[in-house]
Structure 1
């Protein structure tokens, strides 16, 4: 009898080990970690993302590999750094990787139902969302794919164009990749992210009896800042919004290449408009957070919490007036750092301070789900941190923006413009100067540190271009 019970116990353990874990990958667009209450924001409340953080591992030093949508998404979905696949624009990685499997495709090839809802690879916002088109998506990655069309800046409500509208003569909101705030009429389903949450919940219910890889892409808080009216209540009147500290001469020691493409000056945004931009961004975050909650609730209702690894992140960060910079692209921490939360069934909640990259998701999730981890992948398997949050994955994170390169260590942030740094260098002591106000690159006291980073950057770029793709660099 005891022998029979032992056999049954071993059989049950074996069956559990072979049971495929689901993957629910939730990604927000243009989200800075500093807008989330679980990362310390006291104005913008994000209870649903906070709930996930309280149940999973929250990473405090996660970095994207491209500080704008196109290269970032092509990178983490393909498993290669942007310069390896020559993707600094807004296309698909497919021409560079050939028949190699993307992250989602690897799961699809391993017997998973693979689907995306809205923006996973690059997709133009707002125009692509208005039209409901695929953008440079990768059809081979998915069993099914769904777009979430929405009105964007055309949504009925009270709207204002904040960017390049100093005299207020533009009638209400205007289209394009522009700072626009719309306090929108209608409910959640009037907008793209509401439709995305609903479709994701339906797919979880429909496919609960088979292993799935589900990519859920929310487009907020990407401009235009459009959200239902109720999501603005905590941020009105806008003049109570607090802007980051403004330091006289802040740009004086920054190379020309380091001045971000959107600034308070070139956007012609006065303090009133800047404060409204922050309020509009936060309202978009609150709306997105509520939609994340709907997806998480559907997972619970389907009985899949213990069978599903949940990831929440963003494609890159975002400036909200720090250094008088706005939006993405900059290689400073506001733009290069990202929120990253991973909830793994059976693991204790934790906070991890190791330097990790979005590129690590492909190999890590493959390993955690018992799939082969392709040796060609350029990210690292970070799964040891779920048993030991103090585990150090790497000594530096790497990111690019088309003009420059970032190496981010725990103590230092090093940015060089041009492959040999001939267009300028930035060096910041992140312990003494975490907001990156004082560039030490030309200080003779730190010449040795600059030399060390130059050599390290040269080695990193060589490593990135040493791969199996067969491309000419």
Structure 2
């Protein structure tokens, strides 16, 4: 039985790696991994924000099914989780790092019954204080503190787990990093010094007025990335040295991207590529490299991992098992990955342009509707930086009609009636402020067991 090591970061967009063409960021270990991996060039964060992505990853469901279409809500137990599915097959299961799925405050202990089946547990709900990062170990009631930069310490914990566990029992290890999410400069000082902000080039869709701020942001973001690349290198070296690499499916990805001043915006939730496109490398035993252009969405990850290990996919899963595609046994013809924002909140407040949307990302096009109708249409082949919105352009009338049909089909398939944010919040009984944001500083129990988000 194959092992699984699933490594993911928070807020790392697809384009910022050497293997994707960025020559200013140091990712030698990931570049080497790419030379031995199946590379999905259009991996899409279905809902590009932390808790919704994690819930879709763990359940294989879309956000309006599992109910977490906002941050800081608690994931219910209606679905068979990733860890439960692997555990039922005899796997040891481990989660190390950021969780962000419990909905009872960001620094509270999470009891065993709310860990979605994970056994080895070194977790805090959420923190972005990477230099003083706390966590709970197993059933302990007192917090511990990761020494130094937390991603380094969490990687060491993962190495200790790999070294101490029984060699004759398969395992699922999820390593969840907080960086390169801001604070962008709360990173190893020695790596930050390697980037001269004034010399860094920017994506062409960063406005001139944002140039100086963007370069400073890039420098810290790149320093985080360089640190995480080192972590991936240590994991791969340890797996190789122990002889486990060739019996392990090794995955590297991120939960969503970061606008990083592109189009004058920061962070996530938005439907532009900087927010929705993420890296995805899947190294199979044998290390044969291949590139797949067809889009893969967040709910597809769980069933694909199970399929790669020859395990059954639970009936509660909505995502697609693409194991045969990853293994090269069939081609991938579906060219439409769903993207959505059910409730604009946080960095995507309405006063900052936030809005509900539903859309699809194909290999060539991005098509998005808001509550008023067609909103965005980009020809990403001709316009890779999405500088010209072609929505309702007569020259693309036929293309837009076809994309609208594909979007309508995906919404019907996922049971999404494209209700307003207020309607969805009312259906689920969530408590939010005037900005649609959950108050994570005042923990409450949420109505997760009676969610009626789908109609």
Q: TM-score, normalised by structure 2?
A: 0.79
C-alpha contact (below 8 Å) 2:48/2:256 kept by paired residues:
yes
- Given candidates 309, 331, 344, the residue that maps to 2:249 is 309
**Unpaired runs of 5+ in structure 1?**
1-19, 157-187, 249-263
Deviation at 1:26, TM superposition (A): 0.4
Higher CA-based Rg? 1
Q: In the alignment, is residue 194 of structure 1 matched against residue 173 of structure 2?
A: no
- Contact preservation (8 Å) 2:40, 2:280: yes
- Give the equivalent residue in structure 1 for 2:397: 447
Q: Alignment partner of 2:220: what SS? A: helix
Matched-pair contact (CA < 8 Å) for 1:150–1:190:
no
Q: CA deviation at 1:312?
A: 0.5
State the Cα distance separating 1:21 from its structure 2 match.
0.8
Q: Which residue of 2 is the match for residue 147 of structure 1? A: 123
Deviations 1:70-94 (A, max 9, x none): 1111112111111222321124564
Q: CA deviation at 1:370?
A: 1.8
User: Which residue is equivalent to 2:268?
Assistant: 328
Question: How far did 1:42 drift?
Answer: 0.4
SS in 1 for 2:57: helix
C-alpha contact (below 8 Å) 2:60/2:298 kept by paired residues? no
In the alignment, the residues of structure 2 paired with residue 358 and residue 330 of structure 1 have an alpha-carbon distance, to the nearest angstrom, of 16
User: What are the superposed Cα offsets for residues 151-209 of structure 1, whole Å, 9 maximum, x if unpaired?
Assistant: 955849xxxxxxxxxxxxxxxxxxxxxxxxxxxxxxx9402111210110001111251
1:388 aligns with 2:328: yes
Conserved in 1, the CA contact under 8 Å of 2:49 and 2:71?
Answer: no
Does the 8 A contact of 2:303 with 2:321 survive in 1?
yes
* Counterpart position of 1:259: none
Residues 456 and 351 from structure 1, CA distance in 2 versus in 1: closer, same or farther, beyond 3 angstroms?
Answer: closer
Q: Structure 1 residues 74, 433: closer, same or farther in 2, change over 3 A?
A: same
1:436 and 2:417 equivalent? no
Residues 98 and 127 of structure 2 are in contact (CA less than 8 Å); yes or no, is this contact kept in structure 1? Answer: no
Q: 1:470 to 1:244 in 2, by over 3 A?
A: closer
User: Which residue does 1:68 correspond to in 2?
Assistant: 49
What is the aligned partner in structure 1 of residue 164 from structure 2? 206
Residues 136 and 287 (structure 1), Cα distance of their counterparts in 2 relative to 1, 3 Å cut: farther
User: Which residue of 72, 86, 89 corresponds with 1:110?
Assistant: 89
Partners of 1:404 and 1:380 lie apart in 2 by: 23
RMSD (CA atoms) = 3.0
> Is the alpha carbon distance of 1:42 and 1:247 closer, same or farther for their aligned partners in structure 2, counting shifts above 3 Å?
closer
**In 2 relative to 1, CA 44–218 (structure 1 residues): closer, same or farther, beyond 3 Å?**
same
Q: Secondary structure at the match of 1:293?
A: helix
Counterpart in the other structure of 1:170: none
Residue 405 of structure 1 aligns to a residue whose secondary structure is strand
Matching residue of 1:233: 193
Supply the distance in 2 between the matched residues of 1:388 and 1:113 (Cα, whole angstroms): 28
In structure 2, how many angstroms separate the alpha carbons of the residues matched to 1:214 and 1:395? 30
Write the distance in 2 (CA, Å) between the matches of 1:51 and 1:154: 26
CA distance in 2, matches of 1:136, 1:394: 39
The answer to whether the 8 A contact 2:100-2:126 is kept is no
**Whole-Å separation in 1 of the counterparts to 2:374 and 2:32:** 42
Matched, 1:351 2:309: no
1: distance between equivalents of 2:11 and 2:257? 6
Which aligned pairs between 1:27-106 and structure 2 lie closer than 5 A?
27-91=8-72, 94-95=75-76, 98=78, 100-106=79-85
Structure 1 moving runs of 4+ over 3 Å = 91-94, 120-124, 131-138, 148-156, 469-472
Structure 2 CA distance for partners of 1:272 and 1:283, relative to 1, 3 Å: same
C-alpha contact 1:148 1:192 (8 A) present in aligned 2:
no
CA–CA distance in structure 2, aligned partners of residues 386 and 33 of structure 1: 19
Shift of residue 444 of structure 1? 2.0
Distance 2:258 2:98 in 1: 18
Unpaired stretches in structure 2, ≥5 consecutive residues: 133-145, 343-355, 417-449
Residue 46 of structure 1: how far off its partner (Å):
0.6
